[in-house]
Amino acid sequence: MVEKLITVDQKKKIFHLHNSKISYLLSVEDGGTLCHLYFGKRVNDYHGQLRYPRVDRGFSGNLPGSLERRFSRDTLPKEYSTAGEMDYHTPAAIVRQKDGSNALFLTYKDYQIVDGKPDLKGLPHAWVKNNSEAQTLIVTLEDKKTGLLFDLLYTIYRDRAVITRSVKVRNEGKEPVKLEKVASMQIDFVGRDFETITLPGAHAHERTIDRNHINQGIHAYQSHRGTSSHQMNPFLALVDPETTEFNGDAYGFAFVYSGNHKFEVEKDQIEQLHVNVGINDFDFNWQLKAGQSFQTPEVLMVYSDHGLNQMSQTFHSLIHDRIMRSKFKDSLRPIVVNNWEATYFDFDEEKLKPIVDEAKKLGIEMFVLDDGWFGHRDDDNSSLGDWQVFDKKFPQGLGHFADYVHEQGLKFGLWFEPEMISYNSNLYKEHPDYLMQVPGRQPSPSRNQYLLDLGRKEVRQNIFEQMSKILSSGKIDYIKWDMNRHLSDIYEADLPADRQGETYHRYVLGLYDLLEKLDQAFPDILLEGCSGGGGRFDAGMAYYEPQIWCSDDSDAIDRLFIQEGTSLVYPQSMMTSHVSVSPNEQNGRITPFKTRGIVAMWGDLGYELDLTKLSHEDRESVAKQVKEYKKIRQITQFGKLYRLKSARTSNQCAWEVISPDQNEVILSVVKMMASGQPAITKTKLVGLDENRHYEDQDSHLVYGGDELMNLGIYDPVEQGDFKAQMYHFKAID
């Protein structure tokens, strides 16, 4: 018999979601209040000790009509708080009603347990292969006055330390309401002195790890740029002060959504923590008529009792195994040469052919034609929206060039920026109304480009048809889907004035719809995401795009920080990472070619430079790196990652990856600054079998797993900054 993942104590109304790793407990308490009891390491049975202490607190009110002063919704840890129910925490949901009020009083109504996991239509989400790998608890809360029902969805997987959560609001009343905020989840912690870890950043400086103590007050980590953004990735971890990479508790929350998001962390008057995750309520206002429902995006909640590294590994396997759907998710990712930093806009077919020829000689597997191949685009001031080949650059057509690339044995990739429009374009001449703008106002340019109103079906259809014409030639193997500005001038022409608060979310739903259509129509094309580098690097995009360009900063040393932050949540196969020229074009730093290769091999390796201009020595290095990478990419792209040393806290960065079959290990160590009297350092490996022996493929020395883990190996003492070393060990017994 299949073991149940959810048990219910009918009498005490206690719900227990459990597998061999975690438990999540909730209960119904006084006044039909859904109370949060516990999320953490697995407990076999729950015996009721977490009944929240009843204490009379001044200025924390009580249940309507009750004389019991010791019970308050303001202090009890809850699963979902709303405005107007004597709970002063930041509400998870705010709903404006016909009479102008926003007060709700949610009470427990009933529950349902379903095998598997319901699909969230139109939204990316974690999926199940079959119904026996997960179970879903749906707890329904109701507001009697309005007839609103809130279905709180909790899915637990059999083999993962993960709970997924989302909320469906159903209007079963008679009147329309306005949703002003609907978080996808809330969780309250009692008696925990957590710190936050977030991934803030900027363009060319994405996802750098930030760890902070939490003071009393409301702290928000958010984007209202219309996308998940470079500035604040949709992720938050709560950790104990003593939590490290390999020890201690870590709770991670990743939002499966690519638009405006908000993570609220509130430390209240009695040092309890209240966390909401969901669509940002900034400029959000959704009309819900009688009979309609609204489904929020999903949150992935991970628990680790072995520090941040285990949290990351759980996210990696979940995102790879159960968020990504592309047929390429398990395929070795091709080694790419991209012409962007090699030529920028200054190219034509004749100039590109030698790069393709050189790529062939060096063993590179795909040529990606970046920005500038369409319309009449010679700089970034025109042609977005005109997805027809630029004759001047490809006089014999794009197909002719694609054939040339294929004849050299390489695959052919093509850049698009489907969400954008230039004033200077045919699309704008024909459909000026497709440009998102507020009537009577001049829209703001960014990189001299504008947004398409993707919430509108006809706009999406136009772009889909244009792209389909090119893609159905059968000559395109890969798309790089870029997005080089954030949203502004928010207005959807199809919506009435009182529904403009739906525009941001409708844009994201429109984007997902377009991606879904392309995925369905062209499943054999590998899709890579990009938004001015890693500006839309989130679990939502992973559902459609199994890999994403990590950052426009290709400097190997900056990338150590960016890739480390990215790896907190996202698997290596999702990060594309290219070797570029030195001095680096973004920051002027000079780094050894070898180091650039080793750092780029952390993710999906590629080259972002003019292969025809390399020195003899660098050319040899490319050939060597390509050969080496082909041997190890199964391990580096799909293996288990261990972050051993961080350049944030030491003069080195070291990471280790163990192959899925446990037989091979890659270790990379990058030194930051050289010194006249260098300290002698060692690196100790982790996660090996202490009883097996491993051979270093370069020196052919053999070490016991216990030696590599306990004694470690000395790092080379080399002159010069930013030197790096890579080791490949193979188990021999």
Residues designated as active site: 482, 552
Q: Could you tell me the smallest distance in angstroms from the CB atom of residue 529 to ligand DGJ?
A: 10
Nearer to ligand DGJ, 394 or 415 (CB): 415
Q: Which is nearer to ligand DGJ, 451 or 667 (CB)?
A: 451
Give 142: exposed, middle or buried? Use CB within 10 Å, 0-12, 13-18, 19+.
Answer: buried
DSSP state of 133: G
Q: Assess 277 for contact with ligand DGJ (CB under 6 A).
A: no
Could you tell me which residues come within 8 angstroms of residue 272 by beta carbon, excluding any fewer than 6 positions away? 75, 77, 188, 189, 190, 191
Which phi and psi angles does 11 have, rounded to 5°? Answer: -70, -50
Residues 6 or more apart from 624 whose CB is under 8 A from it?
Answer: none
Residue 415 C-beta: closest distance to ligand DGJ, Å? 6
In the block, tokens 């290990």 appear at 665
Binding mask 702-721 for ligand DGJ (x = CB under 6 A): --------------------
Residue 579 interacting with ligand DGJ (CB under 6 A): no
Specify the residue, 154 or 549, whose C-beta has the smaller distance to ligand DGJ: 549
CB of 533 to ligand DGJ, least distance (A): 5
Please pick, from the candidates 91, 201, 226, 533, the single residue that binds ligand DGJ as defined by CB under 6 A.
Answer: 533
Minimum separation from the CB atom of position 562 to ligand DGJ (A) = 13
Q: Which stretch binds ligand DGJ (CB under 6 A): 421-429, 489-497, 510-518, 526-534?
A: 526-534
Task: Tell me the chain's radius of gyration from C-alpha atoms.
Answer: 27
Is 308 a binding residue for ligand DGJ by CB under 6 A? The answer is no
Question: The tokens of 663 are what?
Answer: 């037989």
Please work out the total of residues on this chain that contact ligand DGJ, with binding judged by CB under 6 A: 11
3-class secondary structure, 531: strand
Structure tokens at 226: 């219309």
H or E element that contains 310: helix 307-318
Q: What residue number has its CB nearest to ligand DGJ?
A: 371
Measured in Å, how far apart are the chain's first and last C-alpha atoms?
37
Of the candidate residues 245, 249, 298, 552, the single one contacting ligand DGJ (CB under 6 A): 552
Closest approach of Cβ 603 to ligand DGJ, in Å? 14
Please say which residue, 201 or 252, places its beta carbon nearer to ligand DGJ: 201
Strands 478-481, 411-416: parallel, antiparallel or unpaired by DSSP? parallel
Residue 453 found at the interface with ligand DGJ (CB under 6 A):
no
Phi, psi of 518 (to 5 degrees): -65, -40
The site map against ligand DGJ for 369-408 (x = CB under 6 A) is -xx-------------------------------------
Contact between 530 and ligand DGJ by CB under 6 A: the answer reads yes
* Identified binder of ligand DGJ from the candidate list 532, 565, 571, 687, rule CB under 6 A: 532
Question: By C-alpha distance, which of 138, 133, 136 is closest to 158?
Answer: 133
CB of 401 closer than 8 Å to CB of 354: no
Nearer to ligand DGJ by Cβ, of 530 and 669: the residue is 530
For ligand DGJ, the closer CB: 286 or 387:
387
Strands (E), 158-315: 162-171, 177-189, 195-200, 210-213, 217-223, 232-239, 250-256, 261-267, 273-279, 286-288, 293-295, 298-304
- Nearer to ligand DGJ (CB atom), residue 481 or residue 727: 481
How near is the Cβ of 672 to ligand DGJ at its closest, in Å?
Answer: 26
Instruction: Choose one: 224-232, 323-331, 525-533, 724-732; the region binding ligand DGJ (CB under 6 A).
Output: 525-533
| Min dist. Cβ of residue 643 to ligand DGJ (A) | 25
For residues 16 and 59, is the Cβ–Cβ distance under 8 A? Answer: no
Q: What gap in Å lies between CA 658 and CA 640, rounded to an integer?
A: 5
Stretch near ligand DGJ under the rule CB under 6 A, chosen from 177-185, 528-536, 588-596, 649-657: 528-536
Token pair recorded at residue 411: 């695959």
The minimum distance between CB 453 and ligand DGJ, in angstroms, equals 22
CB-wise, 314 or 554, nearer to ligand DGJ? 554
Q: Which is nearer to ligand DGJ, 358 or 370 (CB)?
A: 370
> 686, 658 in Cβ contact below 8 A?
no
Burial class (CB in 10 A: 0-12, 13-18, 19+), 385: buried
Q: Which helix (H) or strand (E) holds 6?
A: strand 6-9
389, 626, 683, 705 from 700: Cα distances, Å: 52, 21, 18, 15
- The residues in 204-243 that bind ligand DGJ, with binding defined as CB under 6 A, are none
Residues 332-361 that bind ligand DGJ (CB under 6 A): 340
| Shortest spacing between CB 379 and ligand DGJ, in angstroms | 10
Q: Alpha helices of 348-496 — where are they, by DSSP H?
A: 349-362, 398-407, 426-430, 457-471
Q: Are strands 336-338 and 366-369 parallel, antiparallel or unpaired?
A: parallel
Shortest CB 372 distance to ligand DGJ, Å: 8
Alpha helices in 375-479 (DSSP H): 398-407, 426-430, 457-471
Q: Closer CB to ligand DGJ, residue 415 or residue 478?
A: 415
Of 70-78, 469-477, 529-537, 722-730, the segment contacting ligand DGJ by CB under 6 A is: 529-537
CB of 479 to ligand DGJ, least distance (A): 12
Residue 482 as a binder of ligand DGJ (CB under 6 A): the answer is yes
Residue 17 near residue 24, CB atoms below 8 Å: yes
* 543: nearest Cα among 221, 93, 103, 123: 123
Q: How far is Cα 487 from Cα 162, in angstroms, rounded to an integer?
A: 32
Residue choice 466, 484, 563, 637 for contact with ligand DGJ (CB under 6 A): 484
Nearer to ligand DGJ, 245 or 370 (CB): 370
Q: Which residues pair with 515 in a beta bridge?
A: none
Which helix (H) or strand (E) element contains residue 336?
strand 336-338
SS3 state of residue 169: strand
Estimate to the nearest angstrom the gap between the alpha carbon of 336 and the chain centroid: 22
Look up residue 725 and give its DSSP letter.
E
Mask 653-692, x = binds ligand DGJ (CB under 6 A)?
A: ----------------------------------------
Piece in contact with ligand DGJ (CB under 6 A), picked from 223-231, 281-289, 527-535, 671-679: 527-535
Rounding to the nearest 10 degrees, give the CA dihedral for residues 625, 630, 633, 635. Answer: -110
Among 211-219, 290-298, 326-334, 530-538, the segment contacting ligand DGJ (CB under 6 A): 530-538
Look at the alpha carbons of 370, 373, 378, 383 in this order and tell me if their dihedral is positive or negative: negative
Q: How far is the CB of 17 from ligand DGJ (least distance, A)?
A: 40
The nearer residue to ligand DGJ, 201 or 533, going by C-beta atoms, is 533
Return residues touching ligand DGJ (CB under 6 A). 340, 370-371, 415, 482, 484, 530, 532-533, 549, 552
